[in-house]
Copies of this chain bind each other. A is one copy, B any other.
């Protein structure tokens, strides 16, 4: 009862890895079960179907990322160092859970329609930060600045992940920080 079900985790690990490496649609239930060392039917004890597995995985990890953003962007201190903290924590997160990071950042628009609307997304966290820095800013500007910063970060990460730029991501932290500061007009 009290003990956490033991078999969910290996399945989640396997699914996450395969979704990111091969793509969500290219990954079959069979692949996941094989990699997790269980039968295909075992999956259906824990999730209703493949979509359920996908969305619950995504929701879980996006929540982790948003939690990081909300925490770091609301620390005390000047905006610039809060932003640095956030970017730095994201790099740490990548080093700890590269697959989760990539799922959240890169795979997003594959599953747009699958996701329930009530999940708090990174855009909201960054938008709140932008608004905090300058409460006079018009709504559209909030959206655009937040989107631009996120897009810049995602695309830079992609360049590293796909090997066009040498890693690890942390190596480029200060450059990315500088770019994001310019986008958000900090300093």
- List residues of chain A with CB under 8 Å of any chain B CB: 23, 25-26, 106-107, 109-110, 112, 123, 140-141, 143-145, 147-156, 158-159, 162, 164-166, 172, 175-176, 179, 182-183, 185
Q: How far is the CA of A112 from the CA of B159 in the complex (A)?
A: 12
The A interface, classified by DSSP as helix, strand, loop or mixed, is helix
Q: How far is the CB of A177 from chain B (nearest CB, A)?
A: 11
Partner of A147, one of B106, B147, B148, B152: B152
Residues of B within 8 A of A162 (CB): 112
A179 and B23 within 8 A (CB): no
Q: How far is the CA of A185 from the CA of B182 in the complex (A)?
A: 8
Partner of A141, one of B110, B158, B175: B175
Residues of B within 8 A of A106 (CB): 109
